[in-house]
Amino acid sequence: MLVLEEVSAAYDGVQVLYDISLRLEQGEIVCVIGANGAGKTTILRTISGLLAPIAGRIWFENTRIDRLPPHAIARRGIAHVPEGRRIFDQLTVEENLRMGAFLLQDWHQVREAFDHVYQIFPILFQRRGQRAGTLSGGEQQMLAIARGLMSNPKLLLLDEPSLGLAPKVIDMLFEVILNLNRLGRTILLVEQNASRALEIAHRAYVLEVGRVTLSGPARELQENEYVRRAYLGM
Amino acid sequence: MELFLQTLVDGLLIGGLIIVIGVGFSLCFGVMHIIDFAVGEWVMLGAYTAFWMVRYLGRDPFLYLPVIFFLYLAIGYLIYPLIHRAVSGRRHNPALMGLVFTFGLASLIKGGALTAWGFHVRSVTTWLSGESLALGVAVVPALRFAGFAFGVLATVAFMLFLKWSKIGVAIRAMAQDRVMAELLGVDTNRVSALVYAMYTGLTGMAGVLIGALFSIHAGMGLKYTTFAFFVVVLAGMGYVPGVIPAAFLLGLLQSFVTVYVSGRYTLLAVFFVLYLTLLVRPRGLLGRGW
Amino acid sequence: MAVPLFVSSFWLRIATEVLMWAGLAQSWNIIGGYTGYLSFGHGAFFGIGAYTTAILMVHAGWPFWPTLPVGAVLSVLCAATIGIPTLRLRGAYFAIATWAFGEAVRQVATVLEITGGAFGMQLPPFLNLPFFYEAILIATILTYLLAYLLLERSMFGYKLRAIRENEIAAETAGVDTVVTKIEAFALSAIPAAIFGGLYAYLITYIHPDSVLGPAITDLMVVMVLFGGVGTLWGPLVGATAIQLVNRLLWFLRGESTLYLVYAGVAICLVVLFMPDGLMGLVERRRVLFRPRENLKALLRQFKL
Amino acid sequence: TGAAPARDFFKVGVVTSLSGELAFGGNVTKRGYDMWADTVNQLGGIEIAGKRYRVQLIYADDQSTPATAAVAGERLITQEQVDFILGPYASGTTLALAPITEKYKVPHITGSAESPLIWQRKFKYTFGTIPPVSINAQAPIQTLAQDVSPKPQTIAILGIDDPFSKFAAEAFRTAAQKFGIKVVRYEIVPEGSDYTPAVSAAKAQNPDIFAIGSHEKAAIEMIKAAKELKFNPKAFVQHYGMTTPDFRKGLGKDAEYVFGASVWTANLNYKATILFTTPKEYAEKFKAKFGTEPDYTEAASTAAGIAFQEALRQIKATPPLDQAEKDALVAALEKLNIMTFYGPVKFATSGDYYHSNAGLQPIALQYQGGKLVEVGPGKLALAKPRYPTPPWDRR
Amino acid sequence: MDMLLEVENLKKSFGGVQAVDDLSFVVQEGSITGLIGPNGSGKTTCFNLISGLLRPDAGSIRFAGREITSLRPSWIARLGIGRSFQIPAPFTRMTVLENVMVGAFSRTRSLGEASRLALEVLEFTGLKEKRDELAANLTTADRKRLEVARALSTGPRLLLLDEVIAGLNPTEVLGAMELIRAIRARGITVFMVEHVMEAVLPLCEWVIVLNFGRKIAEDTPDRIVRNPAVIEAYLGERFRARS
Ligand SMILES: Nc1ncnc2c1ncn2[C@@H]1O[C@H](COP(=O)(O)OP(=O)(O)OP(=O)(O)O)[C@@H](O)[C@H]1O
Ligand SMILES: Nc1ncnc2c1ncn2[C@@H]1O[C@H](COP(=O)(O)OP(=O)(O)OP(=O)(O)O)[C@@H](O)[C@H]1O
Ligand SMILES: [Mg+2]
Ligand SMILES: [Mg+2]
């Protein structure tokens, strides 16, 4: 479904990704783990078009999408829930969600999407008229994910969704991710919380200083001695 | 008392017209952080366009309001990519580069108008010119009232559009986080161009009314640039609803200072209030600007 | 220093003008270029200088020279007054505030009695062109010397550039950014005022539109942009090029209000395609000829 | 400056605004100067002691700024070595040029600048053919005070803050005081402001006369505002502004009944001998050449050339002029007293208006039936002033 | 040891978000103290309050016994608090040396002296070789070094380091730890925000833990990693298993 071929990326001439190759099949949860600053976020930014790769190709459903502007990539069915929530805090919860459904043309579809996310996150329904900036951190994270779901994307890119959330909320969050996947969503998950991520993922990549150093089924990586030491703290 | 009321009415009526300029300008600033030095020149161009259309096609200038709106909408849409280039890319101070660019644009438009149309003073007459309504003891010039009504209606329509339409929500979202809006599928460049185009369209239309009310000449823009600046600072930069009280304040300030102090001190009073605002409430009267 | 005697007084006048604009452009460059805060009302300081000289000479009977420092001091005070509220804010506020200040000063000059209001003022004529040439030459040299010593060769210049690059970081590195910016703004007002005084005495007639009109600021901005923002020689290059072209076009006639169009197009093009001005082109060449750095950058880029 | 090379024609420098804000007016003076030079040259040139010398006009644009006017003067005098200079349209540029002509001792006549400030400085080498606005703006007030009944009792004056308009407003006030009309409001407002509040304030005083000291643009806006406010004084008074075509076009039928002033119209019956015999002849030739009717500025500019021509003839100077001849030319101009199609030209040699044309009589005008008609003062009237002005809806 | 920095009942909110909530702690002179906590728990905000970039809503900050609450950042810098930025903010169009000289000017007015001081700091931070590079051309690791160098150039008594280790590879991390120890050896107190526990635990003598803007614990590193509240809020269950 999504294929990265030897992708390299740089900020202001400083290279941070080196020849990243990565692939995602329909219906998979794939997670990328790695240290702070390894370049996980950068991978997602390159996929969603926020950063043009300096080399390499990206394919989504057999069409090349590197070089496309982000909105065009979003139009093809990739939703990026970025690091740090980035909700529109002056807008109400409902308006935030409507922005999520920006690409939907049909009024019925929008209604359905609303019903769907309110069903997943009932708390958002209660808060629908509230200015998003006044939500608690956890609620904001849920809103950010819900907003990403509104466009009914084929592929969901999640960047550290558990960041700053209370453990209870994190548990629920991973539950939601699993559920989404069961409903057929393909998910690329970037997480600091490697152990939790590996638990729900099918496959995983380990990123170190901009390079993929290990990859394979999540189960195998969980057993891998190096991974256990470096990322799972065992 | 009669004079007081008349002054009040004069001030409010002019304020209503200034709103139109302020709203587009403020939005343009709020969403794209572009301060358009050419705002007055768009007013001037709108006025001239109405003049030439009346000259060659006859009929009432008000008939051409929609035509002029779409004409300047198109022009703004076409110009925006240049502005975008000026404010993006690897420039040292993108926001200020935009300021300088529109500064150049203003000079270009003004010089072009002077060269093409000379220093003649033109005026257009509408079916409302010279008519007036009585409001108690005060006289309400019909044309001014039409301008006022237009200003208020255009602004209300515009605010409703921002509040309820899909693009409107996208515009407000973009004002907060452009990148996120882009990730959600908003073609931010196109929407920016659209915002800029709406601003030029609205301002061009305001120009028609202003041209009908006053006279039309190439140098008329400067004053409206002053007004637009004053209004956005007072409103709080980029805070669109603040434009309404700010514009009325400006209108009233003008009429009261002219009548009760002296017309010579009107602009000075405006500048003084601007300075005071920057000094004590830099984020606008309502403290909502950025 | 000596006036080239063989030069006709016409050309001497042109040279005087070019020098004056070079100095004025540099004065704008101090705040707009080195500090990164665009002053769109810089012409006001020029006008304040011009009016101070005129008022003191006409109404108080002062001799010429002592009027110049008075104008400079007044301009510095005005700069501080404008700078204190606005230099705390974002650059856009400063741009608007200075613009409003420029317009306000023009209004004041039009309203007051002492400035002759809309009638303007006539100064005692002293039509000794070589005198003005020398005076303006000295003033310009001093302006550039000041810029060189203060901005390129002292702590102050480093602080200004740090502010331009990243104000918050500058602040935490111990630069009192507000004070430094106000100092820079006040400093930039001094040459402008001095040239204003010299100009008033040279032309002998001043009017709010002629010494406080927006055209003065416009020209300063265009010259600096064209030459190269925030460089020592940019303003000189820009002012010379533009003033000479302007006079040449004038000399060859065929000119009309199109000069506004030219200025506008020039600004737009420079912003779009040559944001570093003429000096930028020179710089870029120099960079091209730094083989070692370029090679290193290339190697890094291709991770060889 | 050294001696100019020998030539058989006069080099005449012209400094005026061909670009910049005053380009419109600058071109008006240019037409007047061209009219003079072309007519003279058609006749073979200026006749001096039996020989004819052609004139060559050399233009230098002052870009509507004083600084450029000074450079322009410098260029014409030192580079082109002109014999004398015809001056700019506006007072500001004239005030920057005059010190230059003074320095090089070159005679200079302006056919347009009319600010009293120019004459206060008493420049020896500078002359002007138009009387200062302070004198001639009084004409309509005088007419209203003396030639209509019942005599208006009160006046409100609204002036614009530029030298020309402010002097006009002051002239209205002086005249009103002189003729016993009470000034109930006197206000100067800046150019380009919204005039409605100021007009409202004037209306609140309910004056008989509403006088507007301004160029045509502001006059149009103020009269429009008056109409909208249903302000209906017995007379609207303006001065030069109302004589321009823009004024007429801008106001349409609302221009009707407005009073104004001028120093020259094509209907006057002056009899002259030099170049043109009557105002009518001038107007016809002018129209044939430029396709428009001449106004007083064009006439005055042509008259400036005629003044030089006459003075040169009197002193019998031939080109190129040396310094002695230039000084003699100035002396001759000071003594000049001639009748032209433009009226008498005689430069004052004392008083507040030193070297301005003291020979002319200002005329009061009024729009009647879409035409400008001479209505006073006194014997100068070719028609009766229409007074009072009827209400707006009955015009 | 003396208390170099004392923070009392500090509060700061942004709109609805209470970023720092009634926070009190002290930093001992001569120590290396760590500030940790989940993302968004208010660590950077806390640094911004101390260095004067933000004004607290309430509370007080004392430095070396002197009240510094709400002083201008440049004053605070000159009083002896240097700081680095989480996202490096070099003066991009100036050289490395010039970047550091800007800070050195708060110690001297002379150009020569400033450049001598700056060179010394560059030598110390290992950037001397790159002194003539434009800051824009530095790599991430060098940018972080430059952050530290610039913060040191003002001659601080207290250095606030905001995630200078994050983003470095393992060898670079060791180098950075070396540098931080050397800084302390010069008598400069270090107060650092860091997520990289591999660096925080060996370096710091004392660790303060924030969550939702509140202090939930402070202790020595070996006890912090066993603190249930910290594990719950920040380190996670897995960390307990490891230690
Ligand atoms: N906008 C930027 N400009 C310059 N450098 C950047 C930028 N964003 C990230 N970097 C650098 O790129 C490298 C990779 O960053 P990235 O954000 O992809 O890491 P990450 O793996 O997502 O880390 P984290 O776990 O902290 O989110 C880091 O060294 C970072 O400093
Ligand atoms: N300028 C600001 N305006 C609004 N909210 C802010 C601002 N700065 C910080 N915040 C909010 O305050 C909270 C604390 O942020 P802070 O940057 O201090 O976190 P942190 O502990 O440094 O996190 P990290 O480890 O991710 O750097 C966050 O919720 C953040 O969104
Ligand atoms: Mg990341
Ligand atoms: Mg932080």
Locate the domains of chain E by residue range: 3-88+156-242
Is it the case that residue D211 has pLDDT exceeding 80?
Answer: yes
Tell me the per-residue pLDDT of C243-277, one tens digit each, with 9 for 90 and over.
887 787 777 654 455 667 777 787 788 777 777 77
Query: Cβ contacts (< 8 Å) between C130 and chain D: which residues?
Result: none
pLDDT for B279 beyond 60: yes
pLDDT in tens, C26-75: 999 999 989 888 898 999 999 999 999 999 999 999 999 999 999 999 99
Residue A166's pLDDT is what?
Answer: 61
> Does pLDDT of A228 surpass 60?
yes
Residues near E139 by Cβ (< 8 Å), separated by ≥ 6?
A: A14
pLDDT (mean) for E218-231: 88
The tokens for C293 are 């750095």
pTM exceeds 0.90, yes or no: no
D132-156 pLDDT, tens digit each:
888 888 889 999 888 888 889 999 9
Nearest CA-CA partner of D307 in D335, D345, D343, D341: D345
What pLDDT is stored for residue B133 in this prediction? 78
Question: What is the rounded distance in angstroms from the CA atom of residue D332 to the CA atom of residue D324?
Answer: 12
pLDDT for B175 equals: 84
Q: Distance between CA atoms of B129 and B142, rounded to whole angstroms?
A: 7
Q: Does E168 touch chain A (CB under 8 A)?
A: yes
Q: What pLDDT shows up at residue C254?
A: 47
pLDDT tens digits, B31-90: 878 888 899 999 999 999 999 998 898 888 888 889 999 999 999 998 888 888 777 755
Mean pLDDT of B95-104: 78
Residue D359: the pLDDT is: 83
Domains of chain B by residue range:
2-218
Q: Is the pLDDT of residue B192 over 60?
A: yes
Mean pLDDT, chain C, integer = 84
Q: So what's the pLDDT on residue C48?
A: 96
Q: Quick one: pLDDT at residue C257?
A: 58
pLDDT digit string (tens) for A45-72?
999 999 989 999 999 999 999 888 899 9
- Which pLDDT score is estimated for E1? 56
DSSP characters for A114-144? HHHHHHH-HHHHHTTTSBGGGS-HHHHHHHH
For residues B31 and B19, what is the distance between their CA atoms, to the nearest angstrom?
18
What pLDDT, on the 0 to 100 scale, is given for residue E104?
92
pLDDT in tens, B124-178: 877 777 777 777 777 888 888 888 888 888 888 888 888 888 889 999 898 888 8
Q: Please tell me which of the candidates B176, B184, B189 has its beta carbon nearest to residue A74.
A: B184
User: Using CA atoms, how far apart are residues C69 and C191, in angstroms rounded to an integer?
Assistant: 10
* Digit-coded pLDDT (tens) for D238-275: 988 888 877 888 888 888 999 998 888 888 888 888 88
Least confident of C205-209, C280-284, D360-364, E46-50: C280-284
Report the pLDDT value the prediction gives residue B144, as an integer from 0 to 100. Answer: 83
Residue E242 has pLDDT above 70, yes or no: no
CA atoms within 13 A on the CB side of D359: 22
Residue numbers in B near A89 (CB within 8 A): 176
Ligand 1 pocket, residues with Cβ under 6 angstroms: A 11-12, 16, 34, 36-42, 83, 192; E 140, 167
Q: What is the mean pLDDT of chain E?
A: 87
Nearest-ligand number for the alpha carbon of A39 = 1
Express as a percent the part of chain A with pLDDT over 70: 94
CA A22 to ligand 3 centroid distance, Å: 17
pLDDT greater than 50 at residue D329? yes
Measure C277 CA to nearest chain A CA, in Å.
Answer: 22
Which percentage of chain E shows pLDDT scores above 70? 93
pLDDT at residue A90 tops 50: yes
> Is C294's pLDDT higher than 60?
no
φ, ψ for residue D235 (rounded to 5)? -150, 140
C257 near B CB under 8 A: yes
Share of chain B above pLDDT 90, in %: 18
Q: Which residues pair with A34 in a beta bridge?
A: A207
Please write the tens of the pLDDT for every residue from A131-153: 887 776 678 888 999 999 998 89
pLDDT at C299 over 60: no
- Ligand lying closest to the C-alpha of residue E53: 2
**Mean pLDDT along residues A154-166:** 81
E175: which 2 tokens?
A: 């180098």
Token couple for C138 = 């000295």
Query: CA D132, D135, D140: angle at the middle one, nearest 5?
Result: 125
User: Regarding beta strands A2-11 and A55-60, do their DSSP bridges make them parallel or antiparallel, or are they unpaired?
Assistant: antiparallel
Which two tokens mark B110?
Answer: 């003004």
**What average pLDDT does range B179-194 have in this prediction?**
89
Domain ranges of chain C: 3-213
**Predicted pLDDT of residue C91:** 75
Which class in CATH covers the domain with range A1-77+157-174+185-234? alpha beta
Query: Residue A18 to residues A12, B77, B203, D259: CA-CA distances in angstroms?
Result: 15, 40, 50, 85
The answer, for B39 touching chain C at a CB cutoff of 8 Å, is: no
| pLDDT (0 to 100) of residue C289 | 46
Contacts of B258 in chain D (CB under 8 A): 189, 193-194, 197-198, 201
Highest mean pLDDT among B16-20, B127-131, D35-39, E67-71: D35-39
Q: Does any CB of chain C come closer than 8 Å to the CB of residue A15?
A: yes
Q: Is E215 left (phi over 0), alpha (psi -120 to 50) or beta?
A: beta
Put simply, whether B227 touches C (Cβ < 8 Å) is no
Sign of CA dihedral B208, B211, B214, B219: positive
Q: Which two tokens stand for residue D112?
A: 């347009």
Positions of CATH 3.40.50.300 in chain A: 1-77+157-174+185-234
Residue B174 burial (CB < 10 Å; 0-12/13-18/19+)? buried
Q: What local confidence, expressed as pLDDT, does residue E37 receive?
A: 84
Chains contacting D with at least 3 CB pairs below 8 Å? B, C
The stretch C147-157 carries a mean pLDDT of: 89
Mean pLDDT of E216-222: 92
Beta bridge partners of D110: D128
Alpha carbons D12 and D14: distance in angstroms, whole number: 6
Alpha-carbon C107 to chain mean position: 21
For strand D154-160 and strand D182-189, is the pairing parallel, antiparallel, or unpaired? parallel
Q: Do D99 and C118 touch (CB under 8 A)?
A: no
Taking the CA atoms of residue B278, residue B281, residue B287 and residue B288 in that order, the dihedral angle to the nearest 10 degrees is: 10
A13 part of contact set with chain C, CB < 8 Å: yes
Identity at E169, one-letter amino acid code: N
Quote the pLDDT of residue B98.
80
Q: Which residues line ligand 2 (CB under 6 A)?
A: E 14, 17, 19, 37, 39-45, 86
CB D256 within 8 A of CB D372: no
Q: Tell me, which fold does domain E3-88+156-242 have in CATH?
A: Rossmann fold (3.40.50)
Looking at residue A234, what is its pLDDT?
57
Q: C304 pLDDT exceeds 80?
A: no
Q: What whole-number distance in Å separates Cα of residue D275 and Cα of residue D185?
A: 46
Q: Which of B125, B129, B254 sits opposite D197 (nearest CB)?
A: B254
pLDDT value at residue C297: 46
DSSP state of A53: -
CA–CA gap between residue C184 and residue C154 (Å, rounded): 13
Q: Burial level of C175, CB count in 10 A (0-12/13-18/19+)? A: buried
Give the neighbor-by-neighbor strand order of the sheet with E81-83.
E81-83, E158-162, E189-193, E32-36, E206-211, E214-219
In this prediction, residue D1 has a pLDDT band, given cuts at 50, 70 and 90, of: very low
